[in-house]
Amino acid sequence: MARQIAIIGDHFMLPRMFDEKLREVCGDEIATRLREDDWPDQPMEHGYAVAGMQGLKEYFGGADDVVEFISDAEILVTHLAPMSAAMFKRLPKLKMIAVSRGGPVNIDMQAARERGVLVVNTPGRNSSAVAEFTLGAILAETRRIRVGHEALRKGEWRGDLYRADATGRELNEMTVGVVGYGKIGTKVVKLLRAFGARVLVHDPYIQLSADDVAAGVELVSFERLLGEADVVTMHARVTPETTGMMNAEAFARMKPDALFVNTARGPLCDYDALYAALSQGEIAGAMLETFGVEPVPADWPLLQLPNVTLTPHIAGASVRTVTIAAEQAAEEVRRYLAGEGPLNPC
């Protein structure tokens, strides 16, 4: 008898792509049913705001609808569907969940462990996409692309941007500080090396690869990185240690002509301190892709500053990201059905 798999995707993580990759590796051993939710056209929910969803950070979908769809399935493959403690109790046949994101923040992991449900994720699914976006963000600021674009949209020809005291700088003459040397940080370093930048890395829990060391990449203290970098780009995980690490003291250590880039996570930064640093000229500019609260409020002060570029948390959004996530999830399901151990257990 075919093993029952429920697939809940959305307009980004397409359920049909998960189905295609599952069938490639599992063949006729599985029977699937697909549901496509309305994210990102509709916003996610947060566990603290909905009764019965404690233990979940962000998710999409109502508890009753999700439980009804999963029904008697043994396996759930999803991107954002919630799984609370109460929902686990209503799904006694559910034995495995594959979450196609870097962390299972839509799953109550304590409840999963208590009920013996295997949860796996897809780490690094968007590492190339975010690394490429980060380089684009840096170039948009350092080469004055955003400034020139905004001027032309207003009908203003900024010929003065050719002045030596106003034009941009090339990466091959700059020092870039990379905070965090995980899957994304390492790829950012590789791209920066190709541009000829001097690269400093801060991450107290890693050693640099031999290739990076040979290329002149340096592993340094946080304080030294802040003081020497022309660009500081964030790629650390959010932990109690890293939350708010970019605070008033950190911005005060940076060069007055330095650029701050955050394509990682909003909680890494104290945004009030960043606003003060930008408005008072402690640093020259910032490019922000992630925020402490999303969507950002329409009256958020940082939206009003002329030396900030902001994008709506889209760095990881690429079709290749979806393909990688679907392939990783499918392999985890194949291994589960074959009685093999998971590659990425949560």
Domains 3-125+318-337 and 127-310 share a fold: yes
Taking Cα atoms as reference points, which of 315, 304, 266 lies closest to residue 58? 266
Measured between alpha carbons, how far is 225 from 262 in angstroms, rounded to an integer?
15
CATH second-level architecture of 127-310?
3-Layer(aba) Sandwich (3.40)
With beta carbons less than 8 A apart as the criterion, state whether 193 and 172 touch: no
Q: 74 pLDDT exceeds 90?
A: yes
Q: Which of 79, 144, 202, 313 is catalytic?
A: 313
Mean pLDDT of 186-213: 97
∠ CA 222-223-229, rounded to 5°: 85
Q: CB neighbours (10 Å) of residue 104?
A: 20
Catalytic pick among 79, 125, 202, 265: 265
CATH (residue range 3-125+318-337): 3.40.50.720
SS (H, E, C) 265-314: CHHHECHHHHHHHHHCCCCCEEEECCCCCCCCCCCCHHHHCCCEEECCCC
Q: Of 24, 173, 294, 340, which one is the catalytic site residue?
A: 294
Helix (H, G, I), strand (E, B) or coil at 36: strand
Q: How far is CA 244 from CA 81, 142, 217, 234, in A?
A: 29, 25, 26, 12
When pLDDT is cut at 50, 70 and 90, the band that residue 80 belongs to is very high
Active-site annotation holds for 265: yes
* C-alpha dihedral, 157 to 158 to 160 to 163, nearest 10°: -120
Give the H or E element holding residue 149. Answer: helix 145-153
pLDDT tens-digit map of 21-67: 999 999 999 999 999 999 999 999 887 788 889 889 899 999 999 99
> According to the model, what pLDDT value does residue 49 have?
80
Amino acid of residue 62: G
The answer to whether 283 and 311 have CB atoms below 8 angstroms apart is no
270 touches 246 (CB < 8 A) = yes
313 as an active site residue: the answer is: yes
Looking at residues 151-167, what average pLDDT do you find?
A: 92
Q: Which H or E element spans position 215?
A: none
328-339 pLDDT tens trace: 999 999 999 999
CA end-to-end span of the chain:
28
Beta-carbon neighbour count of residue 165 at 10 Å? Answer: 5
Parse the chain into domains and list their residue ranges: 3-125+318-337, 127-310
pLDDT at 57: 87
Of 36-40, 101-105, 179-183, minimum mean pLDDT range:
101-105
Give per-residue pLDDT as tens, 249-307.
Answer: 999 999 999 999 999 999 999 999 999 999 999 999 999 999 988 889 999 999 999 99
Dihedral over Cα of 333, 338, 344, 346: its sign: positive
Amino acid 140: pLDDT: 95
Q: What angle do CA 329, 333, 339 make, to 5 degrees?
A: 145
Task: Please list the residues that pair with 45 across neighbouring strands.
Answer: 59
Residue 162 DSSP label: G
Residue 219: the pLDDT is 98
pLDDT score, position 52: 87
**Span 67-74, average pLDDT:** 98
**Do residues 187 and 211 make contact, with C-beta atoms less than 8 angstroms apart?**
no
- pLDDT for position 293: 83
Catalytic annotation on 340? no
Share of the chain above pLDDT 90, in %: 91
How far apart are the C-alpha atoms of 175 and 69, rounded to whole Å?
A: 52
**Dist. CA 114–CA 117, nearest whole Å:** 8
